[in-house]
Homo-oligomer: A and B are copies of this chain.
Amino acid sequence: MPKIVDPQQRRRAVADAVHAVVAHYGLQAATLRNVADEAGLAIGSVRHYFTDHDELMIFAVQELGRRVGERVWTHAERLLTGTSDSREERRHRTEELLAELLPLDDVRRDEVVLRHAFAVAAQTRPTLLTHAEAIQQTMYDLVHRTLRGAQAAGGLPADLDVELESIRLHAVLDGLGLQAVLFPQRFPPDLLSKVVRRHLDSLTAAA
């Protein structure tokens, strides 16, 4: 039954399958056969929407970036536009926003796993590098805008080097995520939140 299919939707469904396979079995398992099985399609069907395996991988990375960005920016807008909130309210929303980048539930855990899998792969695969870079840029931008907004709202010292602090906070979130997906039992969600709160505290205190 062809022709009742939205090609874009199909491509995204296949990207879903790629994400599932990579998150569960690793990037090396993201073969056309495994992806097709995961998507409930035949190899030929998958190949109808992607010219070759490389394009499939690139699209999967782009799609990952799109989803992370989408979810994160909707959260971000709520924080960055609301200007008449109390300090406690802002602080709480800031924590929630940054928590979007941590593996605090299954959805975010898979995203962290995928981010790191693609980031490592991009180191030796030029075709992926640009798109992996875009995801990191999205993360940095989120952190940067968050800190910039907090500074503008008076929640952070005026002489704080926001660019440097954004790099540092981004590193904390990324490094924490990597540890947490490797050793979930040693880094439970509340510990991750605690580390982030501690970091934010140190920012508000120091100059």
> Residues on A close to B: CB < 8 A?
24-29, 113, 116-117, 119-125, 129, 132-133, 136, 161, 164-165, 167-168, 170-176, 178-179, 181-183, 187, 191, 194-195, 198-199, 201-203, 205-206
**Assembly CA distance A174 to B165 (angstroms):** 16
Main secondary structure of the interface of A (DSSP, over half): helix
User: Is the beta-carbon distance between A195 and B164 smaller than 8 angstroms?
Assistant: yes
Shortest beta-carbon contacts, A-B, top 5: A175-B175, A171-B175, A26-B124, A174-B175, A171-B176
**Contact residue among B28, B179, B195, B206 (Cβ-Cβ distance under 8 Å from A206):** B206
Q: List 6 other contacts, CB 8 Å, given A26-B121, A116-B119, A172-B172.
A: A28-B28, A168-B176, A171-B173, A172-B175, A175-B175, A202-B202
**10 A-B pairs (CB sep. < 8 Å):** A25-B124, A116-B116, A116-B119, A136-B183, A161-B198, A164-B194, A168-B198, A171-B176, A174-B175, A202-B202
Contacts A28-B28, A116-B116, A124-B25 given: A195-B179 contact, CB under 8 Å?
no
Q: A164-B195, A175-B174 are in contact. Are A182 and B123 (CB under 8 A)?
A: yes
* B119 lies within 8 A of A182 (CB): yes
